[in-house]
A and B are shown apart, each in its own frame.
Chain A
C-alpha cells in the first residue's frame, strides 16, 4: 500500500472529529426520511458504522458532509427496500405502528407507513407535516437543498441522479408542497386566493 496506514486510534480520532459534528443534521434528515424516531436512530448508527468502515475511501479535502449524506441516503434506500420485501417487525415498540396488509400494499416502494399526526407531532408544524407527505424522491431533494443547503452538484452526487433531475424534482416537490399547504399559504399571503 502506498500510503502509510494510520493507527486505529488515529483513524478513530480523525473520524470522530469529522463525523460527530454532523450528528444532529444527520439525525434530523434520518428522522425526516424514516419519520419514526426509533428507525432514525437505527439508521444513524448504521450510517456511522458504514462511514467508519469506508473512511479510507473518503478523499481528504473533499466535502465530508456530502460524503456521509450519500451514505445516509444509500443506507436508507437499502434498508427500506429490504424492509418492504421482507416485512418483519418484532420490536415491542413498533407493534403500535401495526397496520393492515392492504395499507402496506398501498405504500410506495421506499415508503414506510406514514402516521401524519405522529410525524407532525415530532416537528410540530404544518410545513414539516406537508414535507412528510411528499414521496421519498421529492422529500430527499427538498431536505438536501433547502434544509441542509447542499448545491445541486452535491445533491446529484448524493442521490445518484443527474443535475437536471435534481432541478425538476425540486420544482415538482415545491409545487406539491404548495398544494398541501394551500390553506396555510393563503393565510400567510404566499399564494393568491383562487385565480
Chain B
C-alpha cells in the first residue's frame, strides 16, 4: 500500500458516513476514482454500514420495563440521599469531581490546622434546620439505596442508620451515641425528637422513643 492510500484509508469511514468536509471529500473521491483498492474498501464499508442498518431489527422493550422504571422513579424522588448524589457525580463527571475533592482536601487541611470544628459547627454546615420530630421505621440507609439503584454502595464509615417515614421520606441520622443506640433496633418503629436538616434529610437525634 502506498502512502497516499494509507492516508485515504483513515478517512474512508468518514467518507462513507458523510462526516468529512467538502475539501476532504474531494480529495478522497478523486483518489477513489484512480485507486481500485481503496474504492473497494470504501464500497465494502458502505455495504457493511447498510447491512448493519438493515438488519438492526429492534426488539421493543418488554412492557414491564416501563412500569418498573416508573415505579423506581416514584421511589427515587425521596430515596436518594446526599451521598448517593455525590457518588453519581463521580460516576458521571469524574474529572471535575476529583478536582473539587482535591481542592476541598487542601482547604480543609489548612482550616483544620487552625480550628478543629466542634460537633455543632459540623452540623451547621448541613444548612438550615428546624427543631421537630419524626416518626417512622428504623432502616439501613445504604441497604435502602442498594434496593433502589441496584448498585452496592456502602458508606466509608459503614452502614448508616436512617428512618423511613410514612410519607416515604428517608432521613439519615447524624452519627452520635444516640443514633448508634438506634442501630440496634432495626425495623422497629421509633419517634425521634431533634434537629431536622431538611435540605440534606439529616436528623440530629436529641431524644428518641421506640414505639
Contacts and interface: CB of A to CB of B under 8 A. Distances in A.
Interface string B6-40: 00011111100101000000000000000000001
A24 B61 contact: yes
Interface string A16-56: 10001001111110010000000001101110111011100
B60 interface: yes
B59 interface: yes
A50 B92 CA distance: 9
Contacts of B57: 123-125, 128
Interface stretch (B114-122, B145-153, B154-162): B145-153
Interface of A is mostly: helix
Given A23-B69, A41-B68, A82-B151, 7 more contacts: A24-B60, A48-B73, A122-B59, A125-B57, A178-B48, A181-B51, A190-B48
Contact of A127 (B17, B52, B70): B52
Contacts of B73: 12, 15, 48-49, 52
Query: Which of B9, B73, B76, B148 counts the most chain A CB atoms within 10 A?
Result: B73
Size category of the binding interface on chain B: 35 or more
B110 interface: no
Interface string B44-62: 1101110111011111111
B131 to A, nearest CB: 25
Interface stretch (A97-105, A106-114, A143-151): A143-151
What does DSSP make chain B's interface, helix, strand, loop or mixed? Answer: helix
Given A71-B92, A177-B48, A190-B44, A48 B72 contact: yes
Contacts of B59: 24, 27-28, 31, 122-123
Contacts of A125: 55, 57
Given A27-B61, A31-B59, A146 B53 contact: yes
B91 interface: yes
Interface in B181-198: none
B133 to A, nearest CB: 24
Contacts of B88: 50, 53-54
B65 A146 contact: no
A69 to B, nearest CB: 13
Contacts of A181: 48, 51
A128 B59 CA distance: 12
Ranked 9 nearest A-B pairs via Cβ = A27-B61, A127-B55, A171-B13, A147-B56, A174-B48, A170-B13, A146-B52, A190-B47, A48-B69
